[in-house]
Amino acid sequence: MLLSIDLQSETPIYTQIAESIIEGIARGELAKGEGLPSVRALAVDLGVNLHTVNKAYQLLKQEGYVQINRKQGVVIEPNEFPKADELFKRRQAERMKPIIAEAICRGMTQEQIRELFYEVHESLQPRQQ
């Protein structure tokens, strides 16, 4: 997959890297068990600090998206991801709150927010190659 970060963004770079990889998994661009570049290789290609990439990988490991093995390096979790349970849904709802709150402040209706939601969801579907 093409991993993209924005150096000018307010979002920390390690978060951007982690989010970009999760997007890649959602889109099917990163397959289960697929190897990711080593910390050094990715840091060199992106031109960012090694710690930044390491932090991103640790974050992904914590969330269960990757495994870090001594031999194979960093790989996308080869097993099924856990299904979304109540706890997960509640956490996601919590994370959506500020986003929807901001949208309401800007005068967006529920219909408009829904539309935006569909659009983003659509953009995360596997692309036709």
- The answer to whether residues 52 and 95 touch, using CB atoms and an 8 Å cutoff, is no
For residue 29, give the DSSP letter: S
**In terms of Cα–Cα distance, which of 108, 99, 103, 37 is closest to 72?**
37
Binding mask 43-62 for other proteins (x = CB under 8 A): xxxxxxxx------------
What residue type is 3 in one-letter code?
L
Shortest reach from residue 2's CB to other proteins, in Å: 5
18 touches other proteins by CB under 8 A: no
Shortest reach from residue 47's CB to other proteins, in Å: 4
Distance CA 24, CA 30 (A): 5
| Beta carbon nearer to other proteins, 8 or 86 | 8
99 touches other proteins by CB under 8 A: no
Shortest reach from residue 5's CB to other proteins, in Å: 5
